[in-house]
Amino acid sequence: MLNHNSNVSAAKDTRFVCVRGAREHNLKNVNLIIPRDTLVVFTGVSGSGKTSLAFGTLYAEAERRYLESVSPYARRLFHQMPVPKVDEIEGLPPAVALQQQRGLPTTRSTVGSVTTLSNLLRMLYSRTGDYPPHVKFMDSEYFSPNTPMGACPVCHGLGRIYDVTERSMVPDDSLTIRERAVAAWPTAWQGQNLRDILVSLGHDVDKPWRELPKAERDWILFTDEQPVVPVYAGFTPEEVREAHRRRMEPSYQGTFTSAKRHVMHTFANTESASMKKRVARYMISRICPNAMGSG
């Protein structure tokens, strides 16, 4: 990539940037001529000095030349690069570089928000848009999907709606509840607990899911009710009935949670990335109907 033997002085015109004696980091007195007003790519193995040349030398000098033209006050707002180790650079226009992105994009990120273009659009809308009747002026926050005032009431500004269905939470309906037909439910102790609660509530946990009545399936999957019931841990339905008859002391009181409630609550509240990922597998997402065109 580096042309050590270029005749630098021969290229003294505005079509080229001429670098003499670049010594930033590992660069060893590099001379080169770079064509202007065209896309130039530096390639080379890692550590060969591409960044040292492009940013540490060329950009550092271009920014320095730009900053000379602004007020000392504005200059302090810039992250100033150190003066590059180089003998001479000719034909270099002043320049500023912009960050490609601020941090990692999230689910709320769009091309508009990552580039900050949406801030300008919001400002424009707030000045020139049509307001609701009797409203004289609107803050530009009303035009941002990332504020409570501006967000779409259906998808809260995410652009997608997340939901659960019987299909998404029960991928194989030939399984019984005991065989974990409700895949979206937690595993291990919590899973057994919910199964034991269903036994106490009189549900058949040994019948294939698809043979259970629809009303029963819907309640188990979608209800917001959270009944607290006596649990006889590990008992068969028969043994539970027997225990009831004999008024046996239950192992404990268990609280039922529907699969939907578990998935939605965990997705919204967990601080564990892996838990969130696990329940997300049982959700479906689709584009918010409000986002098509108007959002």
Ligand X SMILES: Nc1ncnc2c1ncn2[C@@H]1O[C@H](COP(=O)(O)OP(=O)(O)OP(=O)(O)O)[C@@H](O)[C@H]1O
State the residues that interact with ligand X by CB under 6 A.
25-26, 44, 46-52
109 touching Mg ion, by CB under 5 A: no
Minimum distance between the CB of residue 89 and ligand X, rounded to whole angstroms? 17
- Given ligand X, Mg ion, none, residue 99, with its beta carbon under 5 to 8 Å by kind, binds none
CA distance 270 to 268: 6
CB nearer ligand X, residue 53 or residue 158:
53
Nearer to ligand X, 48 or 109 (CB): 48
Least distance to Mg ion, CB of residue 32, Å: 17
The answer to whether residues 120 and 111 touch, using CB atoms and an 8 Å cutoff, is no
Which residue lies nearer to ligand X by CB, 47 or 234? 47
Closer residue to ligand X (CB): 25 or 167: 25
**CA angle at residue 275 from 229 to 101, to 5 degrees?**
145
Q: Which does 107 bind (CB under 5 to 8 A by kind): Mg ion, ligand X, none?
A: none
What is the Cα–Cα distance from 97 to 90, expressed in whole angstroms? 19
**Least gap, CB of 41 to Mg ion (angstroms):** 13
C-beta separation of 33 from 11 below 8 A: yes
* Residue list 47-76, contact with Mg ion (CB under 5 A): 50-51
Residue whose C-beta lies closest to Mg ion: 51
C-alpha separations of 210 from 72, 73, 205 in Å: 74, 72, 12
User: CA 49, CA 23: separation in Å to the nearest integer?
Assistant: 10
The strand ranges marked E within 99-218 are 160-163
Q: Which residues bind Mg ion (CB under 5 A)?
A: 50-51
